[in-house]
Amino acid sequence: MLQSPAETPYDLHFPVLGFPVRVSAWFWLGALFFGFSLARGLDRLFEDGSPGVLPLLLMWMACLLVSIVVHELGHALAFRRFGIESSIVLYHFGGLAIPERSSDFRGRSASSLSPIEDMIVGLSGPLLQMASGLLLWAIIKVSGYGLSFTGYYPMSIWPFDLIPGFTSGNSIDRPILYAVTVFYLFPSFLWALLNLIPVLPLDGGRICSALVRLNNGPMSLSFKISLATACLVAFYAYSNGDTYLAMMFALFGYNNYQMLDQYGGRRF
């Protein structure tokens, strides 16, 4: 359902651990869309101590890029573990780890993965992304700070703030350190958890689909679960004023509704 955007002369290319990474020009527009209000809000909170909206926005883009590359690297490493090479693409919807159709390594393709292997691939991205967030948390803790952020405004990092000692420590009162911490933990925790919702084409949908296959269920069941879950999330998001999230999951729901036809599943 999610497709890699066409290449442009403005794309950024670089390798990570042997994986080709392409950052589409559309990625920066998406990052700007998601981060502008956050950067502007922090600029107002920091008042005279703020480095400015533009530097904050650039910090957000850098943190988002690293967090998403780490996420997709988790998928790519899992693919490699199962004999499949892949490339990474970042674009306005986030990122993709795109497996090669076959590999000289073992001659495998993504379609040949077992349900268990597919679940491991699906979990590896969010888990590595959250692990990177926990690494930042450990560095912050060693530096004597906590993650309560009461120096500016409370920020809950559920469910991690339920862990004893996770938020204890001195409040982060340095604007740049505060901004980098918020900018990195926000996608690394909250977006990673959002990605585990059982809705195709999210990682949670992939994991759910693998569980259906593991129990010899029809593919149409995966789309039905995705459709029902997407509708619930869209309704919840809309009820709470999150229009963008509601629209995104409504689109996911519509895509799964269409896919039911292709797999011969009854829609209702």
196, 223, 251 — which closes off a domain? 196
Nearest to 200 by CA among 220, 218, 214, 216: 220
Does residue 2 fall inside a structural domain?
A: no
- The residue length of the chain stands at 268
In angstroms, rounded to a whole number, what is the distance separating the alpha carbons of residues 248 and 174?
Answer: 35
Same domain, 64 and 161: yes
Does residue 87 fall inside a structural domain?
A: yes
pLDDT above 90: residue 170 = no
Same domain, 118 and 212: no
Q: Which two tokens stand for residue 217?
A: 């269920």
Same domain, 222 and 242: yes
SS3 assignment, position 151: coil
Same domain, 262 and 134: no
Overall domain count for the chain: 2
pLDDT above 60: residue 12 = yes
pLDDT-wise least confident of 81-85, 97-101, 260-264: 260-264
Contact 86, 19 (CB under 8 A): yes
Domain range holding 112? 12-196
Contact 250, 229 (CB under 8 A): no
Does residue 7 fall inside a structural domain?
A: no
Does residue 3 fall inside a structural domain?
A: no
Same domain, 35 and 112: yes
pLDDT above 80: residue 162 = no
Same domain, 205 and 102: no
Q: Position 110: which residue type?
A: A
Does residue 224 fall inside a structural domain?
A: yes
Nearest to 58 by CA among 73, 74, 43: 43
Does residue 5 fall inside a structural domain?
A: no
Q: Which two tokens stand for residue 212?
A: 């259906």
Same domain, 81 and 32: yes
Strand duo 19-23 + 86-91: pairing: parallel
Alpha carbon 74 to chain centroid, angstroms:
11
Average pLDDT value for residue range 216-222: 92
pLDDT above 70: residue 11 = yes
pLDDT tens track for 184-218: 999 999 999 999 999 999 999 999 999 999 999 99
Same domain, 136 and 154: yes
**What local confidence, expressed as pLDDT, does residue 45 receive?**
85
Residue 97 pairs in a beta bridge with 88
Q: Position 203: which residue type?
A: D
Same domain, 191 and 233: no
In angstroms, rounded to a whole number, what is the distance separating the alpha carbons of residues 217 and 70?
Answer: 32
**What local confidence, expressed as pLDDT, does residue 264 receive?**
64
End-to-end CA distance of the chain: 21
In angstroms, rounded to a whole number, what is the distance separating the alpha carbons of residues 101 and 62?
Answer: 31
Same domain, 59 and 173: yes
Same domain, 139 and 172: yes
Whether the CA torsion 195, 198, 204, 206 is positive or negative: it is negative
**What local confidence, expressed as pLDDT, does residue 105 receive?**
47
176, 196, 216 — which closes off a domain? 196
**What local confidence, expressed as pLDDT, does residue 47 receive?**
86
Does residue 4 fall inside a structural domain?
A: no
The residue written with tokens 């497709």 in the block is 3
Same domain, 183 and 221: no
Nearest to 37 by CA among 63, 57, 64: 57
Q: How far is CA 217 from CA 75, 188, 201, 214, 255, in A?
A: 25, 32, 18, 8, 20
196, 222, 250 — which closes off a domain? 196
Does residue 118 fall inside a structural domain?
A: yes
pLDDT above 90: residue 32 = yes
